[in-house]
Every structure is written in structure tokens, then in C-alpha cells.
Structure 1
Amino acid sequence: MSDAAPAPAATLVLFGAMGDLASRLLMPALVHLERDGLLDGDTRLLGISHGEGDDAALREKLKSFVEDEGDGEAWARWAPRIAYLRGDFTDAALYEDLKARLDGNAVFYLATAPGFFGPIADRLGASGLLDERDGFRRLVVEKPFGTDLASAQALNAQLLGHAEEAQIYRIDHFLGKETVQNITVARFANALTEAVWNNRYVDHVQITAAETVAVGSRGKFYDETGALRDMVPNHLFQLLALIAMEPPNSFDAEALRTEKSKVIAAVRAIGPDDAVRGRYLGGSAGGKDVPAYRETPDVAPDSNTETYVALKVAVDTWRWHGVPFYLRTGKALSARDTEIVIHFRAVPPLMFRDTPAEALPPNRLILQIQPGEALKLEMSVKRPGPVIETVPACLSFAYADAFDLGHRTGYETLLYDMLVGDQSLFQRADQIEGGWRAVQPLLDAWRTGEPEDYAAGSAGPTSADALLARDGRSWHEIS
């Protein structure tokens, strides 16, 4: 059980309730919150979808990813509070029916295809369902939020035409992970780290989100999206903002979001000379045979969509002037690894003139996000013996060794925060638009041309190595 108070009761209206997101991630997270005593007993779920079904069918669908061990009692309490409503998301009659079923607090969660975000918001607004006369009304929007700067601006304007910014929760599940949230604690609660968190001591920063999985059955979505749109303006820029932001004056949501927004606004627009795109060929990744991207079902045979991106990013602030941030993400790679690596500057070699460089590497702080959440500090120590001989060593802290993390989806904290009204981990409109603004030059440039091929199961295209090598640096090995 958690020490936190239970969230206030509300009706969670889940558009797209029969979809994969609802059963695979959202329902298990709600069950975990129930198990931990973080939900009011009157909280309920009303699932909406266009297909045939009833309450029992929705309950059976949502139970499919709920673990029996430890979660059975929590699911038993949840199941009677789940109901199904069939309807067309664009039909005004659905919203009149919905209005008759709601009383008090309500959250509208859009777990739908992105094309429905705007129309659903329009219908909710027109029917008065976003009016907060007898309780709070909140709108939760999944990514992708737009496909470029213009579409993100248009969607923000559409949502804000019906709801206040304080009612809108643009969700990014990366931000619900414990290690991501720990970035602010690791920085600001420790004098040793914050004292050296600047361009005087940091040489560069690497942010990696590598996956072994290929596109698989998501060919249609991915071919319209690609690695850049899918990962960079949201996930990776949010991690960058947490690393690079100035200390907020409190953990208040607006204080945190304002500092993150300043960082994203300070990201210099990225041109093709500072970017690499790749596309995987057939091979083996993650222990599975992977067809070439262009041979994936629902992918155009002449597609120029990228499955890998590497970027050199400049953050134009006083603290980070001259410190490059290298970002990379890709599919069908050699390892699953999401991490942030802070590379510190090398010490002056006056005392160690005869020491080989590999025996005296610069210090590195590694924030491991997934898998295996951990903090690692790489430093040099003396090898035992009669002479001074340095060797690299690693001080490591693994969350699983100190805490019982259990099986979590990453949505638990986000759903709880949304119910209690804490927007700290949710993106604001200016953050969304700032991210798209920074990558828009690449979106324009990459309309033509071809990504560089790389073998499935490798670390990515060779040009990604060259991107760092030209600066005299190299990627931290994914493992």
C-alpha cells in the first residue's frame, strides 16, 4: 500500500476501449492503483468503441493483460465498475447518451487513432461535456500529437477552443517511468551532481532509445510516421529537457513545465548535416528473424521512411553552450536499451602522462531507464600493487536491489497524477510545438532521398558512428 492519498472518484471515459492500449497498458495500471489503495472505490470506467459488444465483453477484453498473482482481488473489485457504450466517435447522438450517463468528475481518455483527437474534442465541447459545473472534466490525449509543426499547432488550437490548458493532459508514457522521474532527484537533491551539471565539467550528453523489436504488425502506422516523428519531438526531447532544465523553484507542475519548455525552446533547429537516418535490412534481432523493413506487411515497397535516427543537438542556453547532445533511436537493433549518459570532461593528464587513455577514461554518469532501472557512475581507481596504475571502475545502484518495483506499465503514476490534477509529467502546448519546430527542417529535407541501410541486429547505420567521430567522440555501447 502507498502512503499517498487515494485519488478522488471519477468516471474514466475511455474512447477506443477495445484497442490494444487499453488492455495491454491502461487496465493493468488501473488494477495496480486499485491494489495499492490509490483509487476511490467509486471510480469507474466507461469504455466506448464502435464495435459490437457489451459490459461482459469489455471486461473480458480488459482482463487479458491483468496478472492473476497479486492482482486478482483488485481486478475483482474493478470488474463490476466497468461498462461498455457502443457508438460512432463522430456521431452527436453518442455524446447525448454519454451526457446522460455522467455526473460529477469525468476524464475523457482518447486512446484512439490520432485522426479522432480533434473531432472527439469538438463533440465533447459542443455537447457541454467539458464544462466543469459539477466537478472536474479532463481530456487526455495520447501521442502522436500532430505530424509536424503546422498540424500540432492546429490540434492545440482545436483542443484549446473547447478546454483550458489546465484541463488537457498530453500523455507521454516515458515520463511515468521511475528512472525518468528520478532524473530531477538525482540532479537537484545531490550537491555533488548539480555542482558539475554544466558546460564547465560536462563534455557531451548521449540519449539513447534502442529497441530490438522490428515494426512487425504496425507497418501502416509506422510507414506514415517513422522514427523521427515517433520518438524525437516527444520522448527524447522530454528526456533532454529534464537533463538540461534550470532548477525550478518548486515541484509545482507549472514551475517544472516552464523550465522544461525553456529548454525545448532553446533547442537549435536541426539540419540534415547534424542528422542521420537509417532503415533496417533483414536479419536477426532480439532472437527473432526480421524481414527487411520494405518487406514488412503494409509498408510501401518504395518507402523512404526511416527506422533509425541519430542527431546532434545544440541547446542555446548559458549552462549548455558548447555541449552537444547526441540523440539516437531505432528499431531492430542489437539490444533494448534506453539510457542517458553524461560524459564529463577528461582530467588534466599532468600526473598520468604515461597512462594509456583507455586506462583513464573520463567519468560517466549513466541513467539507465529500461530495462533494469539503474544509476551507474564510472570513475578511475588504483589497481592493487606497488605502482600507481589506474583502471576503470563502476559504482552501481539498481532499483530492483533496493525496492520492490513489481510489474508496472509506466502508466500508474500518470493516471494517478491525472486524477489528482497534477500536470507535472504532462506536456504543455508550447513544449509540443517547440519540439516540432526543432525537427521541422529535417521533416522538410527528408521528404526525398533514402535512409542508409543497416543490418537488423546491429547498432545502426555506420553514418551514426561518423556523426560522433567527426567530433572526436563515440557512442556508448548499447547492451
Structure 2
Amino acid sequence: MNATTTSTANPLREGLSSRPLPQPCSVVIFGASGDLTYRKLIPALYNLAADGDLPAALTVVGFARREKTDESFRQELQDAAKKFSRSGLNDEVWKSFSQRLFYHRSEFGDAEGYKTLAQRLDKLDEERGTRGNRIFYLSVAPSEFEGILKQLAAAGLNKAKEGSWARVIVEKPFGTDLPSAEELNTVVNNVFEEKHTYRIDHYLGKETAQNIMVLRFANAIFEPLWNHRYIDHVQITASEPLGVEARGPYYESSGAMRDMVQNHLLQLLSLTAMEPPTDLSADSVRDEKVKVIRCLRPMSPEDVVRDVVRGQYIEGAIGGQEVKAYRQEDRVNPQSMTETYVAIKVSIDNWRWEGVPFYVRMGKRLPKGGTEIAVQFKSAPSVLFNKPTEPQGPNVLVIRIQPDEGISLRMQCKMPGTAVRIEPVKMDFHYGTSFGKASPEAYERLLLDAMAGDATLFARRDEVEGAWAFVDHIEHAWHQHDNPPPLAFYPSGSWGPKEADDLLARDGRTWRRL
């Protein structure tokens, strides 16, 4: 009998490496003439093809209203991939990849267009070996969802043949409040079961966001400290130097809270605060995230006045360039009360996080762009070096989500010399330099996961609705309460309104500068 080597592999690593493989399928993109298709979806699929990660039979069918041929569609997408692909465009790779791309013209409400789509997909199954597997990607406004889903059901496209599968990917926003989210989820689940529904949040596809669980649960130096005994507070920041650009009407109806906090930032919060899952299956991970969302302390109108700041940018300068105020942006109400900045002190009512505030902020027209999670540990005892007269800075673990994905840890060290002088130093890890290759784009990972049937990085229905339930308390205090808190203003190019600094200052803390 041959000798065997006993495996000492980490179970978490085994779980990550044994993810299901993407399967051959047809990806039908509704709204294929839109910006998301050109900027994100096709460049992501091209990058996967260039890296050899796509199933050989993968086929993409663009579904839109405009009149185009397969060839004209391919040419437009080539121009987009050349502009937006992270790896540039290789002519030979594109030539092969473009043969996967097809165009289907139809109105979204035209029943005949879905019948011919079904026929075309059946033909592509035979020609390209896609095995009857289909992903329907709704890259359209939520107002179009119900009509498209009903037509898919009428054409029988939501029901897979034996041995095949049919899935739907839904882009955010997942509603505008809890009632609309519940209604939207009902509309989707009337046609596709929850297990076949993939609500995409591109923040969860970012490499560092995925690494939060590995950082916490695969490193013994962090997990024992990840609680109220050792952590003073957590800051989650999303900073954007851009204004609303051409998205004035959309932003007027959403604001920073609905656009970023309800989805992206609460997702990062739940990953940071969750308990260890029983295993790495999609539902085990999402069960723990939902538990965090359910433990968010609801806010009364009085809580909102005290613990939430909403702001709006005025004139200022970004990178030396003068920029106009939000109320002067194109198609924005000159008296708009829409927030472009929000800061919240969030409390999580569970055993692990009792008494540990999570400060969450998002702002436009700030000096620097980036998203990060900063975990600040409690100070060392003030006996030897951390004396009240000469306090040392705290240890801070920073998880950078974008743009420079990585992790850093600040600690105190003695400077060389005979005197005892202590200065902070930083241990820094960068994905790009440490592993010798660029991190894949978020949509690349998420599209592969949808092809593989792995929903771990997609939002589940109860997760979305729980986040809306928390946010709706704040929105109600802003827009429906008799005495709403005032809107704060901040100059473009600053780090936000003074009221946001005061929010932390009253707790003896300050915001980190990115």
C-alpha cells in the first residue's frame, strides 16, 4: 500500500477552494444597450475569457429595443471593452470572445419577442452546447422588472428543462423603502424561486470584501480580539470626489442613504460584525449576516436627531478645480433637501458588540475617493507608555475596499536612539504587489458565481428587507416627522459638515482621514 500524507489543510481554505465551477449557459442581458453592459458586464466577461475562466460554451444574448445586428452589437462592445477592460484588449482573444455575443431586438413588453428569444436560445443550446442553462440579467430600471418577468414566465423561460437551470440576476436598487422592496421581491419570487434569484451588490465582489471572513476567521491573532472587550469602535467610510454628474433625477429620488448606505455600507457592516458561519455554504454565511441586520438598534426620531447627520455639498474646489453646489447641478431642484452626505452612529444590540459604536459615513465631493473599514482597538493600560500626559495612538486595523485594495495595521514602536520615543508605524499589505497580479473586477467574480450557482456574495430577500427596515426609521424622521433635523451644508473638497465631526467628538473620537 502506498504511503499517504495526512492533510493538515485549514477547513476554511478547503471550503474556499472547493467552490462549484461555472457551468455552460446562455446569459441574456435585458437592457443590453445600457451603460452597465458597456462599462461593466461585457468588459468583465471579456477579462474572464482572457484569463481562461469562462466555460467554453458560454453565450451572451443582448436583449434591447434598438435595431442592431449581431455584428454591429459586437463592434460596439469591442469599443467598450477596449476602453473599460482592466487588462486592455487583445485582438485574438476578442476575435474568439466576440463569437459568443449575439443580439436580440424586442420591446420589453412584446410577447412575440420572448417567444422568438426562447426559440433562439434553444437553437444556441444545440449549436454551442449551453445545455439549456440560462441566466437572465435585469440590467434595467426596477419599473421594468415586472413586465419582463411576466413575459419570461408566459414564454416558459423561467422553468428550466430537466437537468438544466434558469436563474435571474437583479441589479440594485432593490426598492426605495421596505414596502417597495417587499413588493419587488414578491414580483421576482412569483416567477423565480428565491434559490434562483441573485440580487447583485458589486461591493461584495471586491476582493477585500471577500477577504474579511478569511482575515477574521483564519487568523488566530484577530478573532479572539474581535469583540467589545478589545475594540473601541469601527468606522466604515465611502468617500467620492465626484458629484452627481448626469444622475441628477436619480439622485433626487434616492440620496446618499438609499444609494449607498442601505446596500453597500450595511453589507460591509454585516460582514465585519457577523458571527462565524457553521460552514461556507451560501445560506450559512447569509444567515449570520441577516442576524447582524436584525440586531441593528432601530432609531426613533430623537435618535436620528442625535446620531445621524445629513449634509449636502455647496460650491468649492476638487483637485484645484472649482465645482458647483449640488443645487446647481443639472436637473436638480434649486431648493433640494436631498442628502449627498450621511453619517450615522449605529449600535448593534448583541453580545459581541455591546457598547461598540459603528460609525458609518458616505459623502460626495470629498477630497479623496475610497472605501475602507477601520477597526480601532482600545488603548493599552496607562501604566508604562500610554500615560495620560503622553497618550499613544491606538492600534488600528484598516481594510481598504477600494481603490488600493489591501489591509494595514498601525502599531506603536520605539524610535532608534537612547531616549524612549514612541512613534506609530504601519504594516501594509497590498493585493496588487503581494500576489503579483491585479485583483479581478467585482463583476467578474459575481458573474462566475452566478454561473456556478453560488449565491454567497448575493443579497438574500430577508437581508434586503431587514436593511430597509433599519433605514426607513431614519428616512421617516427626515421626511415625514413633524420636526425633521436640519440639513447641514459642507464645501466641496472638505471632509463633510462640522456636525459629522461633532458626532464623534462628543464621544471623544475623531474621523480617520483616508
* 2:125 maps to 1:106: no
- 2:100 aligned with 1:81, yes or no? yes
Q: What is the CA–CA distance in structure 1 between the aligned matches of 2:386 and 2:290, rounded to whole Å? A: 44
Partner of 1:439: 471
How far is 1:23 from its partner? 0.7
Match of 1:129 among 149, 153, 157: 157
Relative to the length of structure 1, the TM-score reads 0.95
Deviation at 1:418, TM superposition (A): 0.4
Secondary structure of 1:93's counterpart equals: helix
The aligned residue for residue 13 of structure 1 is 28
Instruction: Provide, for residues 48-77 of structure 1, a one-character-per-residue CA deviation record: whole Å limited to 9, x for no partner.
Output: 111222222221222233237454333221
Partner in structure 1 of residue 493 of structure 2: 457
SS in 2 for 1:342: strand
Question: Which runs of structure 2 are paired with 1:43-442 in the superposition (5 Å)?
Answer: 43-67=58-82, 69=88, 71-103=90-122, 104-134=132-162, 135-270=164-299, 271-272=303-304, 273-286=306-319, 288-352=321-385, 354=387, 356-357=389-390, 360-406=392-438, 408-442=440-474
Distance 1:267 1:3, change over 3 A: closer
Say if 1:59 and 1:451 are closer, same or farther in 2 by CA, change over 3 A. farther
CA distance in 1, matches of 2:62, 2:236: 37
* Alpha-carbon offset, residue 356 of structure 1: 4.6
Residue 39 (structure 1) aligned with residue 54 (structure 2): yes
Counterpart CA distance in 2 for 1:464 and 1:437 is: 23
Count of residue pairs brought into register by the alignment: 476
The Cα offsets for residues 103-122 of structure 1, whole Å up to 9 and x where unpaired, read as 30110001111211232222
Residue type of the alignment partner of 1:378:
R
Is contact 1:23-1:63 (8 Å) kept?
no
The ranges of structure 1 where at least 4 consecutive aligned residues each deviate by more than 4 angstroms after the TM superposition are 2-6, 353-358
1:176/1:286 CA distance change after superposition, 3 Å: farther
Q: Report the equivalent of 1:22.
A: 37
Per-residue CA deviations over 1:111-167 (Å, capped at 9, x if unaligned) read: 111211232222222322111224110000000110001100111111111111110
- Judging changes above 3 Å, is the alpha-carbon distance between structure 1 residues 289 and 15 closer, same or farther for their aligned structure 2 residues? farther
Query: 1:181 corresponds to which letter in structure 2?
Result: Q
Residue 470 of structure 1: CA displacement?
A: 1.1
Letter in 1 for 2:184: L
CA shift, 1:177, in A, is: 0.7
Residue 88 of structure 1: how far off its partner (Å): 1.4
Deviations for 1:21-45, whole angstroms, at most 9, x for unmatched residues?
Answer: 0010111110111112111222111
Which letter maps to 1:74?
V
Taking the aligned partners of 2:390 and 2:72, their CA distance within structure 1 comes to: 63
Contact conserved, 2:30 with 2:139, CA < 8 A, in 1? yes
Shift in alpha-carbon separation, 1:353–1:231, aligned structure 2, 3 A: closer
Give the conservation status (yes or no) of the 8 Å contact 1:48–1:87: yes
2:20–2:454 Cα contact (<8 Å) kept:
no
Change (3 A) 1:6 1:249: closer
Q: Which moved more, 1:37-46 or 1:335-344?
A: 37-46
CA distance in 2, matches of 1:185, 1:260: 15
Q: Deviations over 1:156-182 (max 9, x none)?
A: 111111111110000000111111111
Deviations 1:189-229 (A, max 9, x none): 10001010000000100000101111111111111111000
Task: Measure, in 2, the Cα distance between the counterparts of 1:287 and 1:177.
Answer: 30
For the 8 Å contact 1:53–1:84, the answer to whether it is kept is yes
Whether the 8 Å CA contact 1:4–1:38 is kept in 2: the answer is: no
Matches of 1:179 and 1:410, distance apart in 2: 10
Amino acid at match of 2:118: K
- Residue 154 to residue 304, structure 1, CA distance change in 2 (3 Å): same
> Retained in 2: the 8 A contact 1:199–1:323?
yes
Unaligned runs of 5+ in 2: 1-16, 123-131
8 Å CA contact 1:212–1:336 kept in 2: the answer is yes
Cα shift at 1:352: 2.6
> What SS does the aligned partner of 2:384 have?
helix
Structure 2 distance, partners of 1:21, 1:285, is 26
Q: Please report the RMSD computed on the Cα atoms of aligned residues, expressed in angstroms.
A: 1.8
State the 1:248 CA deviation.
0.7
**Contact 1:7–1:419 (8 Å) recurs in 2:** yes
Q: Distance in 1 between matches of 2:104 and 2:404?
A: 39
CA gap 1:193/1:155 in 2 versus in 1, 3 angstroms:
same
Q: Does the 8 A contact of 1:18 with 1:61 survive in 2?
A: no
Distance, in Å, in 2 between the alignment partners of 1:146 and 1:375 is 33
- Residues 397 and 408 of structure 2 are in contact (CA less than 8 Å); yes or no, is this contact kept in structure 1? yes
Q: CA deviation at 1:285?
A: 2.0
1:157 maps to a residue whose letter is T
Determine if the alignment matches structure 1 residue 473 to structure 2 residue 502. Answer: no
Structure 1 window deviating more from structure 2 (393-402 vs 94-103): it is 94-103
